[in-house]
Amino acid sequence: MKLVLDNLTYHDCPVELREKVTFAPEQRQGMLKALHHSGGVSEAVILQTCNRLEFYLYARKDCDCRALLGELLASQGAEAAGVWARRSRQTTGMDVARHLFEVAAGLDSQMVGENQILAQVKAAYTDSLESHMSRLIFHRLFHHAFRAGKAVRTQTDINCGAVSIGLAAVELARDKVNLRHARALVIGAGENAELVVRYLTKAGLANLVIANRDVEKARAMARRFGTAKGIGLPEIVGQLRDVDLIVSSTGATEPVLTYDNSAWHLSGRTKPLLIIDIAVPRDVDPTMTRFDFVTLYNIDDLNEQIGANRDRRNREVPKARAIVEEFVGVFSQWYESLDLVPVIARLTQAGLDLARSEARRYAGDFGDGNGEKLQAFAESLIKKMLHGPISIIKDGAGEPTVEQLQAVDLINRMFLSQDKGGQ
């Protein structure tokens, strides 16, 4: 059997092509079933994110995995098959484990060290389990990936600090405002604005209003997050007396907040107002800082912090890769221990060594001249005891079954002391 990875990723496939090979959960479940019925693949996991489509396979050595996956993608449409044929790459052996562990650790992400990918790998593995396509090999492979991902994040600073605009805005807000007792206004309902709303909600924001030119879009986003209220852009200035935080991210070509349109509504206000403008062009006119109580940050202010955080993460990459290599080594040792012929030889030799040792130990109790007979008896007894386990391992021809591999794994752990540290 062989470990195989066929994939396409953001490294060499742009988004306009990746989106043509994006599949719904039920389609991926169908693909797993098709792989199960193919006869050539014993185990499979399909990992799909916005940046990658990856097929992890444990397949027969004579299985043409590229051809098999090509047919599978063709069943989803000619466009998908074409992109896959031109852009997909294949990896085999321990490089598959290394790649998976790096993915789980966030080392292969556009945003180095990001946390979401580990949950996505776990979800892909769960989907495989539900389709009965992860057994002995992938149980061990993916649990090592989970542990590698966790170890990298706990033993390095690979995920320190925000390296996205939305998260950086919320981290800044959290440093300046007590979010649990604050009222916030998010202006905009696009991708960045939605990320800000999500992060603010996770941070425990007490009160949130979402404003957008399309009020229905604002209300729809508010419903998704439950505790928010949606309003239109003309209603923004009416919120200025009460809010403690404003984060703005619209596609407007002119500022939506200026000194002139805000002065009457902010007259008499003294409590601090933090405004974070992450739009380009800017949503908030710099004249807003004429109010003594207003503190204004723009995207350049955040980019400086993001750059520092990104440099810090990148400095942690060598340390993270060293941790990944440790996990690759442990998995590789276990994987190689499943080779049937060496296991039979080691098991037989271990049994005979034990028989001879015990025969020598008790030879004196059986009188002179009986040592060789005692050793022959002990060796014969061991051989008879090992006949059953060895027969199970040797049973059949060709590729080993999952049951045989499980027997080898159990024998290794019970009798040959293999991979004790990897449990």
Active site residue 50: yes
Q: Give all domains of the chain, ordered by start, each with its CATH number.
A: 2-160+316-333 (3.30.460.30), 165-309 (3.40.50.720), 337-422 (no CATH)
pLDDT digits (tens, 9 = 90+) for 47-91: 999 889 999 999 999 999 999 999 999 999 999 999 999 999 999
Q: Is this structure's pTM higher than 0.85?
A: no
Question: Mind listing the pLDDT tens digit for each residue in 87-144?
Answer: 999 999 999 999 999 999 999 988 899 888 999 999 999 999 999 999 888 998 999 9
pLDDT band of 423, cuts 50, 70, 90: very low
Q: Which of 22-26, 57-61, 164-168, 376-380 has the lowest mean pLDDT?
A: 376-380
Euclidean distance between CA atoms 156 and 397, whole angstroms: 47
Distance between CA atoms of residues 42 and 141, nearest Å: 14
**The pLDDT of residue 343 is above 70:** no
Residue of 35, 267, 324 lying closest to 151 (CA atoms): 324
> Over the chain, what is the mean pLDDT?
89
Report d(CA 214, CA 221) in Å as an integer. Answer: 11
Beta carbons of 236 and 266 less than 8 angstroms apart: no
- Residue 84's CB is within 10 A of a number of other CB atoms, namely 25
Q: Are 199 and 166 in contact (CB under 8 A)?
A: yes
Question: Furthest-apart CA pair in the chain: how many Å?
Answer: 113
- Of 13, 50, 63, 160, catalytic: 50
Tokens of 267: 């007259």
Task: Determine contact, residues 279/193, Cβ cutoff 8 Å.
Answer: no
For residue 347, pLDDT over 90 is answered with no
